[in-house]
Amino acid sequence: MRGARGVVRRGAGVFWVLCVILIMGCSVRTLETEKVRDLDYELAEEADIPEEMRGTIEEHKEEAFSFTYADKGRLYIARGYGKQKTDGYKIQVQELYESENAVVLKTAFLGPEPDEEAGPEPSYPYIVIQTEYSDKYVVIE
């Protein structure tokens, strides 16, 4: 009798493990990054960045970061490259587009020009772009 209960318990345990795996498998989404359309955007000036977002940037500026913020029908995407030894660094938006289920931002981080005199103070280069609101996932590359 005791052996039958052990088999039933083990069988129930295996059943629940399989259920959890099945549920987890159903929740995985594949992000499609093939461009459907370009998105219009603007580089946000410091004064245009929502206050809460500015605070988050200030908190995380020492390290590379990327995050989004939605406010008043606009989507803000922030991309920072952390503390740099000097100034003169630039961030270039290469692409901002929408795919089937994502918004994709591609940026390039450019160092100071060879003939440019860099200041002695460290810098914390980042950009914030604003575009139309989307509830899609945001991929930042």
Q: Give this prediction's pTM.
A: 0.77
Identify residue 66 by its one-letter amino acid code.
S
Residue 73 banded pLDDT, cuts 50, 70, 90? very high
Residue 108 banded pLDDT, cuts 50, 70, 90? very high
Average pLDDT over residues 80-92: 94
Query: How confident is the model at residue 11, as a pLDDT?
Result: 46
Residue 118 banded pLDDT, cuts 50, 70, 90? confident
Query: How confident is the model at residue 120, as a pLDDT?
Result: 82
What does the H/E/C string look like for 73-137?
Answer: CEEEEEEEECCECCCCCEEEEEEEEECCCEEEEEEEEECCCCCCCCCCCCECCEEEEEEECCCCE
Residue 119 banded pLDDT, cuts 50, 70, 90? confident
Distance CA 130, CA 68 (A): 10
